[in-house]
Amino acid sequence: MECNFLVVGSGIAGLSYALKCAGVGSVVVVTKKKDIDTATNLAQGGIAAVLEERDTLGSHVADTLGAGAGLCDETVVEMVVGDGPERVEELVRIGVEFVRDRGSSSGYSLGREGGHSHRRVAHANDLTGREIERALLGKVRSNGNIKLLEEHGVVDLLMVGGDVAGWERGGKRCVGAYVMVDGVVEPCRAKMTAVCSGGVGKVYLYTTNPDIATGDGVAMAFRAGAEVQNMEFMQFHPTCLYHPEEKNFLISEAVRGEGAILIGKDGKPFMEKYDPRKELATRDTVARAIDKEMKETGSDCVYLDITKREPDFIKERFPTIYGRCLSQGIDITKQPIPVVPAAHYMCGGVRTDRMGKTSIPGLIALGETACTGLHGGNRLASNSLLEAVVYADRAANFCRSIWSKLKDSKLPLVDEWQCGDARDLSEEILINHNWDSIRRLMWNYVGIVRSIERLALAKKRMEFIYAEIALHYKKYYVTPNMIELRNLALNSLLIIQSAMHRRESRGLHFLIDYPDKLPFPSQTIFKRKGRSNSWDIKIIEESCNE
């Protein structure tokens, strides 16, 4: 396999970038499950942008910086917010149908979410992500220059010596990836590779993320030698449905934006105790408040009550949430919804510059996989779809700007995948057991509120699990489940090490031993030492220095 542009992931970032690159060269999009198995497809709230007359770019910038707890890159924030309105209009031109409101100056019905001082979230009721994915996939499928390959997992990046235009000279560059299909691993060579494989919610027992969210992009990029930034900032969404048969169904923040209040099991609202913005405080504050209420009252959940709104409004604005809750016997027009926080969004990721370029020549990172500097220590609601389209556009512009040099570059010969004397894995339990252990360990020891003692214990246990997975990886033929487990383990260690490194409480990272912010904000940046793609327990130990 070979192409000009290899794109790993089929969410909003990967598809938007693929469509733009297809204007200059051949594109292959690989996705390890079906094309719609993406976090984008599950996004409910919408895309934040300044679309209304009374709103201002300055206000969106201020809200983003406020949420980010001193760690946003202000220039990046201004750039993303500034590009926002144009990118939203571009989505509309592609065919995305946001809900309209003729009475508003923007022409759109705009939602409100926590941390925003204005209504500025364009939405398709509570199915915004699905609508965006539908429109983008339609365009991608009908584009003759794009090949979209489902059930194609990626194992590792292809690394060789040499330079790439637009990057500093020296070191190794990325020339594609080892791709696995039907149990066979083959190199797919590319002139430019983009990792847009989403986040890592699956390291936690409870998450709003789809099953694909195993941090593959971050793990592959880190193994290949890329800088990874701020992995301690895992965003927990305050309101995931609490029901034994619905483990990861999100109750959109837009529900609170339309007036829902959080109440305890005694029926009393509690957010006023924590923040004057109450239910519309930023997510870090609301998730921690819920965690505290649950711990103090010994309850398994709290409740979100929207019953004060008209039933017809609720059914029309939140048809999916209404229907899904009703199917579990909860009529949200009449009764409060049981909710708990759950892992939702990785604010850290592969460090990029303002064009989406990583520290590895030839490798771009986009969407949740990337850490661009927009979100800082806590992402503002609905800024992620925005970041994805803005950076997809910027990265594609960068590729076009170097295309005259790139198109004449020769794809180098690369090594075939080496199996050594591996054999078939006969006991899947060896993999499944570790999946379960990691997710429980991360939830209980590296969750919303952390302590040095629990982090240290988590590190010890994770290193043991990591070493065991390393042995399986050497001994057996790789399977999709094993590849994901290996990536989960590496991401878990990166999260733990980053969390231990940050001796303060800031944004989403709350450490009971260090409850205050340090006076000077710093970014946590890790880069592995040693040979690319080697699979050795030491790579974590040796690499996690700022």
Query: Active-site positions?
Result: 283
Q: Tell the smallest beta-carbon distance from residue 234 to ligand SIN (Å).
A: 13
Distances (CA, A) of 236 to 284, 344, 362, 449, 455: 7, 5, 32, 11, 18
Residue type, 213: A
Q: Containing H/E element for 190? A: strand 184-195
Nearest Cα to Cα of residue 377 among 291, 442, 451, 282: 282
Q: Which stretch binds ligand SIN (CB under 6 A): 39-47, 141-149, 300-308, 435-443?
A: 39-47
> d(Cα 125, Cα 46) in Å, to the nearest integer?
8
Q: Which of 14, 45 has the CB closer to ligand SIN?
A: 45
Number of chain residues interacting with ligand SIN (CB under 6 A): 10
Q: Tell the smallest beta-carbon distance from residue 361 to ligand SIN (Å).
A: 32
Q: Which of 164, 321, 381, 455 binds ligand SIN (CB under 6 A)?
A: 381
Q: Which of 47, 485 has the CB closer to ligand SIN?
A: 47
282 binds ligand SIN (CB under 6 A): no
532 binds ligand SIN (CB under 6 A): no
Cα dihedral: 447, 448, 452, 458 (round 10): 0
45 binds ligand SIN (CB under 6 A): yes
Q: Tell the smallest beta-carbon distance from residue 443 to ligand SIN (Å).
A: 19
Residue type, 325: C
Q: Which stretch binds ligand SIN (CB under 6 A): 38-46, 51-59, 309-317, 495-503?
A: 38-46
Q: Enter the DSSP assignment of 373.
A: S
Q: Which of 55, 227 has the CB closer to ligand SIN?
A: 55
Q: Which stretch binds ligand SIN (CB under 6 A): 40-48, 147-155, 192-200, 502-510?
A: 40-48
Q: Which stretch binds ligand SIN (CB under 6 A): 41-49, 225-233, 487-495, 517-525?
A: 41-49
Each residue 215-254 as x (binds ligand SIN by CB under 6 A) or -, in order, gives -------------------------------------xxx
Q: Which stretch binds ligand SIN (CB under 6 A): 14-22, 379-387, 478-486, 488-496?
A: 379-387
Runs of H (alpha helix) within 142-231: 216-224
Sheet containing strand 261-263, strands side by side: 234-241, 337-346, 302-305, 261-263
Q: Which of 384, 532 has the CB closer to ligand SIN?
A: 384
Answer yes or no: are the C-beta atoms of 159 and 175 closer than 8 Å. yes
Site for ligand SIN in 91-150 (CB under 6 A): none
Q: Tell the smallest beta-carbon distance from residue 257 to ligand SIN (Å).
A: 9
Q: Which of 240, 350 has the CB closer to ligand SIN?
A: 240
| Residue 78: both structure tokens together | 């201004």
| Residue 76: both structure tokens together | 């990046």
Q: Which stretch binds ligand SIN (CB under 6 A): 140-148, 369-377, 381-389, 508-516?
A: 381-389
Distances (CA, A) of 482 to 205, 316, 373, 539: 18, 43, 31, 19
> d(Cα 401, Cα 254) in Å, to the nearest integer?
39
Q: Per-residue DSSP letters for 294-345?
A: HHHHT-S-EEEE-TTS-HHHHHHH-HHHHHHHHHTT--TTTSPEEEEEEEEE
Q: Which of 38, 44, 230, 498 binds ligand SIN (CB under 6 A)?
A: 44
Q: Which stretch binds ligand SIN (CB under 6 A): 362-370, 378-386, 417-425, 430-438?
A: 378-386
Q: Tell the smallest beta-carbon distance from residue 480 to ligand SIN (Å).
A: 27
Runs of H (alpha helix) within 380-428: 383-401, 403-406
Q: Tell the smallest beta-carbon distance from residue 283 to ligand SIN (Å).
A: 8
Q: Tell the smallest beta-carbon distance from residue 46 to ligand SIN (Å).
A: 7
Q: Tell the smallest beta-carbon distance from residue 258 to ligand SIN (Å).
A: 12
Q: Which of 232, 253 has the CB closer to ligand SIN?
A: 253
First to last CA, the chain: 37
Q: Containing H/E element for 254? A: helix 253-257
Q: Which of 164, 212 has the CB closer to ligand SIN?
A: 212
Q: How far does CA 243 lie from the centroid of its chain? A: 24
Residue nearest to ligand SIN as judged by C-beta position: 45
Distances (CA, A) of 374 to 60, 223, 396, 529: 12, 24, 19, 27
Q: Which of 16, 128 has the CB closer to ligand SIN?
A: 128
| Residue 186: both structure tokens together | 């083959």
User: Would you tell me how many other CB atoms lie within 10 Å of the CB of residue 116?
Assistant: 27
Q: Tell the smallest beta-carbon distance from residue 163 to ligand SIN (Å).
A: 38
Site for ligand SIN in 317-376 (CB under 6 A): 345
Q: Which of 384, 487, 505, 532 binds ligand SIN (CB under 6 A)?
A: 384
Q: Tell the smallest beta-carbon distance from residue 81 to ligand SIN (Å).
A: 15
Answer yes or no: are the C-beta atoms of 15 and 194 closer than 8 Å. no
Nearest Cα to Cα of residue 338 among 396, 442, 439, 262: 262
Q: Which of 45, 507 has the CB closer to ligand SIN?
A: 45
Q: Which of 131, 227 has the CB closer to ligand SIN?
A: 131
Nearest Cα to Cα of residue 68 among 253, 235, 289: 235
Give me the residues that bind ligand SIN (CB under 6 A), please: 43-45, 252-254, 345, 381-382, 384
